[in-house]
Amino acid sequence: MAIICCLETSSAFCSISISENDRIVELLEERDAYRHIEVISVIFKGILKKSGLDVHELDALAVSAGPGSFTGLRVGASFAKGVCFSLGIPLIGIDTLESLALASMNSYRGKLAPVYCPMIEVRPWEVYSCAYSSTGRKIIPTQIIDLRESNFLRTLSDENFIVFSGNGLEQYKNLNGNKKKNLFTNIMNSAKHLIRPAYREYQKRNFSDIVSFTPRYVKAPNITKSKKFV
């Protein structure tokens, strides 16, 4: 049996789960936006206490590897690396968009062999996105999409039934409407969606190097330079 702690910090919220193999044991989530630095250690200690586990009973720690919020990913990665290094346990990086797509696949498997399209908000009208087939194969690569200028789903046949997930779907829905062949789910970033891919990677012993691991930011952080000395 593998006891795995999953950290999801790629969105505005901080979420941590504990699982036994691919079965969820506990889930704690902070719903005050962008408080990752303040709450991550508190939630981590809280979920261990709630689950009745000692930290040394953890077999691995999985973390959302991006894309997503630059600050959130950085905080999650730093915390995960510190815990893994101190405990001597493996680190597992999970693609954030893949975790949303897999959660959608587990929730909806219709006769129409749908395409799964996770979307993570970057800023107004911009999202990180990609698309997966019903077999889990990535058919559109991860990219930043300006929803006002690009119909990035144009490569898909009109016959495809598209299942959307993630916090960027509302922007797409507002621009394109709720078409008959679109399903807009309520699946959002959560540590519970990291559990199955984390256990899959644990079984494969597909671990990340603790020292060199960095999240997949995709886009450079939006930093405004001061004009005082220009």
Q: How many residues does the chain have?
A: 230
* 67-107 tens-digit pLDDT: 999 999 999 999 999 999 999 999 999 999 999 999 999 98
> What is the b/e burial string over 89-113, where b = at least 16 CB atoms within 10 angstroms of the residue's CB?
bbbbbbbbbbbbbbbbbeebeeeee
* CATH number where 113 lies: 3.30.420.200
pTM summary value: 0.90
* CATH number where 38 lies: 3.30.420.40
Band the pLDDT of 216: cuts 50, 70, 90. very high
> Over 70: is that where the pLDDT of 221 sits?
no
Decide if 123 is inside a domain: yes
Band the pLDDT of 180: cuts 50, 70, 90. low
Q: How many domains does the chain have?
A: 2
| Average of per-residue pLDDT values in the chain | 89
Domain that holds residue 193: 3-95+189-204
What CA–CA distance (Å, rounded) separates 90 from 92?
Answer: 7
If asked whether residues 141 and 76 sit together in one domain, one would say: no
Band the pLDDT of 230: cuts 50, 70, 90. very low
> Over 90: is that where the pLDDT of 172 sits?
no
Band the pLDDT of 108: cuts 50, 70, 90. confident
Decide if 229 is inside a domain: no
As to burial, measured by CB atoms within 10 angstroms (0-12 exposed, 13-18 middle, 19+ buried), residue 171 is buried
If asked whether residues 100 and 177 sit together in one domain, one would say: yes
